[in-house]
Structure 1
């Protein structure tokens, strides 16, 4: 399976799932706050040619009673180790499969 990498959009997806109680979040605490700034504008300064990006929207989590938080805590903690990465294991997916099999 090909891995896809994301950050703020993946974080926001987990926040929506958890705060609206429509599923369980499996994995590690997020690397971003649940209420975040996102959507960027990029520009180049005319004289120096420096490139900049700046966020222009704030996404407020649905359950504002939990703000402010530094990260979203998963419902089911599953951590990845360096050895897992070296061995090509995805413990979060393995945990998901285990849960699905046991809840038939």
Structure 2
């Protein structure tokens, strides 16, 4: 049994690069405005914390899976924030266009 666990560790190297990518994805999502109030971001933070705990326990396979999922959740949170900001900007542009149309219509 002990040999199996040692062999398992040898097959699953520490996912250091994946953890770095995940931390960067979480930082990027935060930078564009994602907060823990969003379910995707809260899930990303939780999975990242679990990945870090798994790393400490040397459960590298679990750490990699949690980190990958956390990265995807963070990227989804970022995409949602950017989509929302784009929709707000589009609404502002449309409102300005409508005002210009009314002004042009009143001028004629």
TM-score tier after normalising by the smaller chain length = under 0.3
More helix by share: 2
More strand by share: 1
Q: TM-score, normalised by structure 2?
A: 0.24
Q: TM-score, normalised by structure 1?
A: 0.24
